[in-house]
Amino acid sequence: MPARVLDGKALAERVRGEVRDEAQALERRGVRPNLQVVLVGDDPASAVYVRNKTKAAEECGIQGDTHRLPATAPEADVLGIVDKLARDPAVHGILVQLPLPKHLDEERVLLRVPARKDVDGFHPENLGRLLAGKPRFEPCTPAGVVALLAANDVPIPGAHVVILGRGPTVGRPLSVMLSQKGPRADATVTLCHSQTKHLHMQARVADILVAAMGKARFVQPQMVKRGAAVVDVGINRVLDPTHPKGERVVGDVDPAVAELAGWLSPVPGGVGPMTIAMLLRNTVRAAGLQPG
């Protein structure tokens, strides 16, 4: 039997409806949630992500603007915009779209975003709160993964979760979230990376397998236990002469895994929409924490 689809698009629509209701409740109190985006450079993928985020925000009643700078912008200019937004009491959330051009110090820029406006959940204070089990804003993609599993009744407590990829935006925070106490956690987590020995064997024993390595179709059927839940976080562009754009987006998981897995998230339409939904949820929460 083919895997059940972890439909992020449908769940994200439901979450966005909840966010819309929360935004309207805040507006009745005189607070209009405000999300500001800083986009440096002309990377096509980043431009698409920002467009999707701002459109979704508008539909949920969240106002905001995108501040665009050229790829050659000096770091002082980028920091100046972030500092200005940080001081503005009407701004509740600041999103610096990653990746930044290589001449910019990504860590320095992100640290200029105040923790209470860090709706991406990357600030050290927010990551520290997450580690302590008292999160303010959970990182958006990991939060989307957990919500997707929970909404589809994938058993998490007691499960063996294997995460492929230890990156700071997905793998590491997700390992913390799933290993803590709670109805959507209490898992035993193995965090794998490029130096993990016998990685294929590690993946094979997972009840829940999360692929976040950024390698197209890396996870093959022989790496998946029958009936496992497989979450594909990868977004990779591969050449495809049959596609109108000459390329297509694929995940880190080979589609053939669907014949073996119990659940599988599609790419696109799985984790991606949930990431945006969690960003909007964090923005509304930030608005509730700050004076309007």
**E-assigned strands of the chain?**
4-5, 35-40, 66-69, 93-96, 160-164, 188-192, 208-211, 229-232, 236-239, 247-250, 263-264
Catalytic-role residue among 7, 118, 120, 252: 120
Cβ proximity of 146 and 175 under 8 Å: no
- Number of Cβ within 10 Å of residue 27's Cβ equals 15
Cβ proximity of 206 and 187 under 8 Å: no
Active-site annotation holds for 245: no
Which class for 183: exposed (0-12), middle (13-18), buried (19 or more C-beta within 10 A)?
exposed
Active-site annotation holds for 197: no
What φ, ψ does residue 6 adopt, rounded to 5°?
Answer: -85, 90
Catalytic-role residue among 7, 36, 97, 225: 97
Give every CB contact of residue 140 below 8 A, 6+ residues apart in sequence.
Answer: 119, 120, 121, 275, 276, 278, 279, 282
Active-site annotation holds for 53: yes
Active-site positions read: 53, 97, 120
